[in-house]
Structure 1
Amino acid sequence: MAASVVVIGAGVSGLTTAVCLAEAGLAVRVDTDRLPGATTSAAAGAMWDPYLVEPRDLVDRWSRRTLAELTALSTDADTGIRLAEGTHESTVPCEMPSWGTVVGALPCPPDDLRDGYVTGWRYRAPLVDMPRYLDHLLRRLERAGGTVRQHRHDTLGEALREAPVIVNCAGAEARFLADDPAVDAVRGQLVLVENPGIDAFFCDDTPGAEDLTYIYPHADAVVLGGTAEPGNWDLRPDEDAGREIVRRCTAVEPKLAGARVIGQRVGLRPVRTGVRLTQERYGDRLLVHNYGHGGAGVTLSWGCAREVTDRVLQAAVGPTP
């Protein structure tokens, strides 16, 4: 059976969208120039956290739906998701972000704050080991009959010849594929170290901070971050930046001192003035855009994927024999 839907992109947005479409009974193929393990999603931290993304009302709806899905998936260890507790803290007084109420965040008492921090909030949320999670999504897609093809589309016009429905989940590459100058890459680098016994996550949430500082612990490793460099498309690790990330994180969590560095990851956050989830008709072909998720690809993934699926099903496009 030929594909009735082709999804462009095999990051978390593309794979989640493909899973939803395939489980809805459509014949789905993912076309991608980079397989899941080589995508920006594989380089992400990552946890549920609406970061670098707008518009707020839609983000709120999509992130709430995704939170419910990720929480349900956390009961299966094979997904790479666990519910973790930790804190966001600030070196200056500030208000808790609006999404804090969604996860039941509570203000930290003064003696619960790290050195140098004056306010913060503690909560519990899904923490995601991205390589394992992408493997889970790929297995789930295959069980639903979906396939993955390593192929680069240079234009959407070319892609529209492939199937009745095309879903554009190209991430930062949508700047070129969709000719959308509103999309830009914000380069993120992180460092993986052996876990010296850390269980709680930490994130510096100081307003206007020049650097990102976060600590996301998994079973055997800790993800340390990070950087946020607008307009930098370089995927090569910067050794100086890596050392600075380790220094900042160790200053927050002394247990990290001497932890062996396992590796570094670099990804390009697809930042846009607002998420683009729209559709267009080209004769009998339907093109749906689903990109511009900034630093919240995981956080919005299921909410956006379910909405894309609803739109495609409402268009009443069935499998092509």
Structure 2
Amino acid sequence: MTTPARLVTAGYVESPIAQYQGNPLIEALPSIRAEADAAAALAMFPEEPGSEVGLSKEIRLHCIDRVLQLVQPLQIHLELESALSSLIRSGYVGRNPLAHSTWRHMYALALGQTSESGFRSTASTLSVVGLSGIGKSTALESILRLYPQAIRHQQYRGRELVQVQIPWLKIECPFDGSLTGLCHAFFRAIDRAIGDERYAKRYRSLRGIVPLVHQIEQIASTHFVGVLIIDELQHLRVAKTGGKENMLNFFVNLINSIGIPVVFVGTNSMIDLFSDVMRNARRATGLGLSDFRQPASDDPAWALLVALSSWRLWATVRHARSYP
């Protein structure tokens, strides 16, 4: 057993927002950030070359890879950070662990009787699309770093609360394009988050979407998963999933029956591939679409990127490639 690198002990800060108050899952999250604070937290710039200019050319060439770490927050990053912040918190409104209705719903999930629990999901969705390599995953990972991967609760306002909360879970669609593969990717991601090989091995031989989804319901509810980010969604294949209706039911079940907000991430082809799914899903529009595009030459975002970042790139590459 290993301890997850981002497991923290819960500390609670009361929210100024009425519907968030008294919910330990929300109050254990980092405070809602102002735009300026979010930009400062998201920014990642390579270190200046400094004394490296005296190193040999062969060694300096390796320094070029440092520019891959650069994250210059633009307006789309700040909008995505704000959307995820809202998505996670609003999804927890209907899953307060101090409410009897939450445990009644979890019991109904175990029995497969969700229609009788009276549960009302407060989860929504967000779609993030763009060309491959344009920075979608980098932007999301920069935002997710602002949140712990797992939070251990022990006591809330003098009341015992023994839970391990997972504020976010990010998985990639498997290349085989099947929902079965996606489910097993979920189990592996949960194991990494809690630092224990508990689920992937247990359900490795389990086949069939219905039993797999049932286990996902149980696990996601037990660990109060805040948001599920599904990357490379264009890998899913309709033929592998059993048809668009089956795919639709899978995603709608995650959002409506379990109450987990979902972020769909993929290339522009994802829109055509899943147009019917997104159109018919009750909460498909959710918080809308975050479209990562190459900025136009007259776009203020492009001017900002060039003004604040180009000199760092130039300095790193120049010192890496120049001879002593």
The TM-score normalised by the length of structure 2 is: 0.24
Larger Rg: 2
Structure having the higher helix fraction is 2
